[in-house]
Structure 1
């Protein structure tokens, strides 16, 4: 081992020992190969806590590394140069006891776990390396930041959504849209009151090269604990951590850092925080609708009952949300004064994550007309959050759809396929019941594609079992206009079973064609028999009544 390497080892162990002695570093840095890296986070804000501890543990031993080497802990750690990096940072383990007294050793003896090297190195790092170390240290907690981002996203939807491959892929796609690089996660186990487990975290730069990987992240914190914000991610275990410290050719910024720049520096998809709207002078006297009892005390709980009135709002360019109610910290519940409310910008990713789980006809959504936001209301059972069941309502929308299989087949069946790669669809209000087991009970939803095609759906989508049991109906107005069957009785409809998997729901179009042919034959029957045949009770099944006004219906 060279003198430089030995000095770096002494600096690392001495620095860690000093921090451990001050109870400032609850981390065993450079754990033995195959052992997890453990960190306990205090009640300080998550990012500041991650950055502060990462700086303490990295700056001491980063000096001896060249800027194009790779540093890591665990079996995936690799290096390019200098030659001694492998012997120091991959094959050898470093830690320190609570004291700063080192064990004597020869220059050829490696530092082993449980030993300390004693005195610090007798040289100072160059300002260039120091600045680089500090910048990269701020990003060493990125694995936990990704965990927090995924956990935060699951607070709006249900935890099981992000535990499914499709939901997890969509959520990471949404997160990747805010950074120049790309984030992927293999599996995630998220529950309201169970520890968080995330595996296979990978961060790639704009060119697709992996700059950071994490084998597994386990946190003792639950989603509810994160909501409360008392302990952050709690005691967290990170296994198989690997980060690329190589620098970009332009600008000299570390590649791992460049892939995770702040959203406002993201050249590919910059985010802009909207300016806050000035409040009127009388704002201190106004109370949000539906939450007056919280402020007047009429709905307050007895003293020491644990209920704390709250009104909270979140705002960004893509999302706005609000909650009002009383927090019962002891019970781990929020008693809502009104439904959870959110305005969401719909794009391809959010359409797949959210709308497609309510109605298979919406799987091809690519956006909304005029890029507007969609308002969503969620009412937990008994108005207590979190809950195992939610009633959802989505306000009527005007959407832009790509030509997915289900919609394209329906239009072709009705002879209305037409040119163009996108379609315009209007919807009625969407109502559904969504439970923690992954089952969605969708009420009647009306959609209008273009000006002529009116379709109706209702039924069940079971995302846990992966199957669909719904009905697609073609009402009389579409049969008359699109299929030119003018004698159809008012209220008549053709109904077809919509089954298959949630990823690729199917409809038996051959059977549907036979049913349509039967209708046409009846249309040509003598006038005296037409009305009787077309209102045959064996064929004519009543539609569920709409729960809300249909936007395009004539008054």
Structure 2
């Protein structure tokens, strides 16, 4: 067999004379250790380099000698090509062979020990992972695991019994989650899967055909901070308040008590689903009044979602993630969301705005529409009810079409409704001397334009111009800001010039003029500055009767007043239909 490489260590002995003249070193005897490497080469003269080597041991080997100095006898480093194919190199660090061997043995031993420890840890982790489900089925180990979990959350969770295993279906009974105040926020009598645990973990069975039986979910808010009790049970209050969507102070308590609603959830996937049956959810009073007492949630993933929605199927080529279509039905509403779930980014990418079709009830107007505009809080219901058509259509568009988001755009289609007589409506009619429109009436009709608003979480609404036609006669417009957390209003109520001309006989008022009236106060008690409105009408009346100087002065005032009046967001419905 041909030898390609041979490395040996030698004591220099008498070969120093052979190297000293070649290496030009001042004290060659300090070279105590060197390494000889023999590699294939056409040179045969190797005995002159190392007389102590036995040439008979290298018969048939043609090679080249290379010498590396390991003692650091000369500062710096050097390399020279020597006769007979010998190459020598050196550095300034002197090496002790014995210490080097001891250090090498120590490092090698340490490395072996580390490898053994790592292998032991990996084996222990594997054994623990394999046996963990079975261990958690035992009361003692389950209690230890729950104690560890409860130390990481403000609330506490308890489990009555569990039957877990990698190769069998799982069953857990008596799950209870309590808040820090001891109130139960989640109770699940039983959870059972039809697929084995390993199949669920590896994603081979989707949601594992899990059945959640008769859960009770408490979605009420804590009175001290306005945060959901369920969230407070699993996350510290400080962390929740740091969120961009935090509530700065609790909302004013709603006079309507909380109500129970039945809950059914069906989640379907190509490989397995999840069913929540006979559930109950405890809703805040305002939410229950708007949605009703029966909720059905239907969620489809993957091919099941694209099969039911053509838009989602087409968008699958352009978006990443899992296709999802979610729908909520209740007695008073239907909501739909269509998009792609992106688990790694913890978001949902929508392909179209969230859409809600609602029944227009006094509760929905009072608790939700009033946050966009106090005038809308007086709505009693639709002027004409059609069972085949929704009373109100709402579209919500998050920033970049991604959920969750801190900013949303809200769009509500034009409505024709019945309006209760409130202080704002009565004040407008009194200002325009049109009290006869409501004489002997407790309510009247109202039409709206498209309602556009921007929502900055946790609850600041920037409302675009909303045009309203009261009793099919009186046209007014509003715009401004509403803060639903502080429940404060900073808006403007404007009477257009044509209403002033028609009802007050101010013929010199141009059609583009608007009498602007400040509106402040709170959502439930907005304050309209009728004094400012009266002064404005007095000025307009003076122009009707005044001379050229008064006319020029008021024209200048009109130009400044008109400059910050926003344009309608869409054509007015009553003008399109000749109303």
SS at match of 2:568: coil
What is the TM-score with the length of structure 1 in the denominator? 0.52
Q: How many residues align?
A: 351
1:343 aligns with 2:351: no
* Structure 1 residue 390, shift from structure 2 partner: 0.2
Contact residue 300 and residue 309 of structure 1 kept, 8 A: no
Gaps of 5+ in 2: 1-136, 148-153, 163-169, 184-212, 223-227, 231-242, 263-272, 283-287, 299-304
CA distance in 2, matches of 1:352, 1:42: 46
Question: Which of 400, 406, 409 lines up with 2:427 in the alignment?
Answer: 409
Q: How has the CA–CA distance of structure 1 residues 422 and 25 changed in structure 2, closer, same or farther, with 3 Å as cutoff? A: farther
Partner of 1:424: 445
Deviation by residue 1:206-242 (Cα, 9 ceiling, x = unmatched) = xxxxxxxxxxxxxxxxxxxxxxxx9999xxxxxxxxx
Question: Which of 459, 462, 466 lines up with 2:480 in the alignment?
Answer: 459
CA distance in 2, matches of 1:549, 1:23: 65
Partner of 1:144: 218
Partner of 2:329: 315
Gaps of 5+ in 1: 1-17, 29-34, 44-48, 58-73, 77-137, 153-157, 180-229, 234-258, 261-265, 277-282, 302-306
Q: How has the CA–CA distance of structure 1 residues 39 and 399 changed in structure 2, closer, same or farther, with 3 Å as cutoff? A: farther
Structure 1 segment 44-193 matched on structure 2, within 5 A: 53=174, 142=216, 144=218, 166=251, 169=254, 176=259
1:483 aligns with 2:504: yes
Deviation by residue 1:466-524 (Cα, 9 ceiling, x = unmatched) = 43222111001211222232332121110112122333221221221121112112123
Q: Give 1 or 2: higher strand fraction.
A: 2
Structure 1 segment 27-46 matched on structure 2, within 5 A: 38-39=157-158
SS at match of 2:218: helix
Q: How has the CA–CA distance of structure 1 residues 145 and 522 changed in structure 2, closer, same or farther, with 3 Å as cutoff? A: closer
Structure 1 segment 439-450 matched on structure 2, within 5 A: 439-450=460-471
Q: How has the CA–CA distance of structure 1 residues 329 and 490 changed in structure 2, closer, same or farther, with 3 Å as cutoff? A: same
Higher Rg of the two aligned structures: 2
Partner of 1:300: 319
Question: Which of 374, 383, 386 lines up with 1:360 in the alignment?
Answer: 374
1:550 aligns with 2:564: no
Question: Which of 388, 395, 410 lines up with 2:406 in the alignment?
Answer: 388
Q: How has the CA–CA distance of structure 1 residues 285 and 329 changed in structure 2, closer, same or farther, with 3 Å as cutoff? A: closer
Structure 1 segment 522-541 matched on structure 2, within 5 A: 522-525=543-546, 532=552, 535-538=555-558, 540-541=561-562
CA distance in 2, matches of 1:231, 1:366: 40
Partner of 2:75: none
CA distance in 1, matches of 2:519, 2:408: 24
CA distance in 1, matches of 2:430, 2:260: 35
SS at match of 1:518: helix
With CA pairs under 8 Å and 6+ residues apart, which has the higher RCO, 1 or 2? Answer: 1
SS at match of 2:506: coil
Q: How has the CA–CA distance of structure 1 residues 383 and 362 changed in structure 2, closer, same or farther, with 3 Å as cutoff? A: same
Deviation by residue 1:259-299 (Cα, 9 ceiling, x = unmatched) = 99xxxxx9xx997899x9xxxxxx9977444x3433xx321
* Structure 1 residue 317, shift from structure 2 partner: 2.6
* Structure 1 residue 458, shift from structure 2 partner: 1.1
1:378 aligns with 2:497: no
Q: How has the CA–CA distance of structure 1 residues 360 and 21 changed in structure 2, closer, same or farther, with 3 Å as cutoff? A: same
* Structure 1 residue 465, shift from structure 2 partner: 3.8
Deviation by residue 1:373-410 (Cα, 9 ceiling, x = unmatched) = 21011110111111000011111111222222222222
* Structure 1 residue 421, shift from structure 2 partner: 1.6
CA-based RMSD: 5.0
Q: How has the CA–CA distance of structure 1 residues 284 and 53 changed in structure 2, closer, same or farther, with 3 Å as cutoff? A: closer
Q: How has the CA–CA distance of structure 1 residues 431 and 270 changed in structure 2, closer, same or farther, with 3 Å as cutoff? A: closer
Contact residue 467 and residue 476 of structure 2 kept, 8 A: yes
CA distance in 1, matches of 2:463, 2:434: 26
Deviation by residue 1:279-325 (Cα, 9 ceiling, x = unmatched) = xxxx9977444x3433xx32132xxxxx1112222223311111111
CA distance in 2, matches of 1:142, 1:402: 38
Contact residue 439 and residue 461 of structure 1 kept, 8 A: yes
